[in-house]
Amino acid sequence: MSRWKRPLKAAEVRKILRALGFEPRPLKATSHEQWTKRDGESFYKVTLSAHNEPFDDFIVKSMARQAGVSVREFYDALN
């Protein structure tokens, strides 16, 4: 399996989101974490369900889309 297509853990996704400029929203009654970023006129929100880790390629692709980046850019932000 390619290094950048491997499943990701929740801690790795948090690191990626911080590197991309996202901030966590305060947790509410749900176990889903919400990470947000405002980039000029654009607003991005990524939902992270840590209890579903490790995240397969389908979930990673969804999170990358929510973040407004490609899957490759999402994995590259881990380094």
pLDDT of residue 2: 53
Which amino acid is present at 58? Answer: F
pLDDT tens string for the chain (79 positions)? Answer: 456 678 999 999 999 999 999 999 988 777 799 999 999 999 999 999 988 899 999 999 999 999 999 999 999 999 8
- Asked whether the CA dihedral 47, 61, 41, 22 is positive or negative, the reply is positive
The Cα–Cα gap between 8 and 29 comes to 25
Domain boundaries, the chain: 1-24+33-38
